[in-house]
Structure 1
Amino acid sequence: MKLLDFLSYECVLAELAAHNKEDVLTELANVVTQAHHSINKIELVSILKEREKVGSTGIGNGVAIPHGKYQGISSLVAAFGRSPSGIDFNALDGHKVHFFCLLVAPQDSVGDHLKALACISRLFKKEDFRDKLSRAPSKDEIWSILSAVDKAT
């Protein structure tokens, strides 16, 4: 499984406006619902907040993978957002989060959902990949980096 199987260019934000966890979830959900009209933003934000109550999706190293399952979609959907200044997301390592990869899976998805989470986690564990994304000056450059790493895996 590759990241660009479920992440599209229009769902990439080079600089999040959000300054807290709830606003990050809302901003990323907004991007997803603009690109995928079958997904309701209010419902999606609610699903993501409920998942965060179970435990933070901030996995460490400046990365968070907020995720949830949504009734009525047939395939995985993702959004990527970057926060150059970082946001307190209650990450496991206690550090601010700079990279957010929101993942929405079909309600009945099990295998693909877990494979996608593993794919994202594996990519973002690479320090050089995170460094390149940190330095990228634009959405186009971020997309280029994401595309290149996707082709290399």
Structure 2
Amino acid sequence: MSELSDILNGESVEAAFSASNKKALFQQLAAAAAKRTGLPAKTIAASLNAREKLGATGFGGGTAIPHGKIEGLEGCTGYFVRLASPVDYGAVDGLPVDLVFLLLSPPDAGADHLKALASISRAFRDRQILAKLRGARSRDAIYALLAGEEARDAA
């Protein structure tokens, strides 16, 4: 599994997500992911916060990849949000974050989890993709960029 379309669908993308700070972002991401996975939002938020204590998941360039491993998931699942206003995240470069790709995986999904992280980080390292993600007008356009970019990589 290496394509973002394997872990993301159109309903898992938000174009104008609102969060006032990192803590609120994690709570709201957890609530959104809970609707998709059927798992409790508190469990998801706790997993994200526990991982974040190991080191900030701010990737740089205004991007972040919060991730966690959670019992009860069938496989890796993603949720992408573009924030309406950037938040201070404690990223490696100190820049506020406006593009966030949440990755949740079952505890035993070692290789799939790493492949998914690699796919997300590849997209987040591409300045053209970042510019297009920030300029996209809709959830569908963002999803097409994320899913389409990976299709080109695989070709």
Query: Is the structural similarity TM-score above 0.5?
Result: yes
Aligned length: 152
Q: Do the aligned residues in 2 keep the contact of 1:28 with 1:80 (CA within 8 Å)?
A: no
Structure 1: unaligned runs, 5 residues or longer: none
TM-score (norm 1): 0.95
Offset, 1:84: 4.2
Pair 1:96-2:109 in alignment = no
1:51 aligned residue: 51
TM-score (norm 2): 0.94
2:120 aligned residue: 120
Q: Helix, strand or coil: the match of 1:45?
A: helix
Structure 2: unaligned runs, 5 residues or longer: none
Q: Do the aligned residues in 2 keep the contact of 1:57 with 1:65 (CA within 8 Å)?
A: yes
2:138 aligned residue: 138
2:20 aligned residue: 19
2:150 aligned residue: 150
Take 1:80 and 1:89, find their aligned partners in 2: how far apart are those partners?
A: 16
The sequence identity of aligned pairs, in percent, is 38
Moved over 6 A (4+): none
The structure with the greater share of residues assigned to helix is 2
Q: Helix, strand or coil: the match of 1:14?
A: strand
Deviation string 1:29-86 (CA, Å, 9 cap, x unpaired) is: 122111121x111111011011111110001011100001001112001100111431
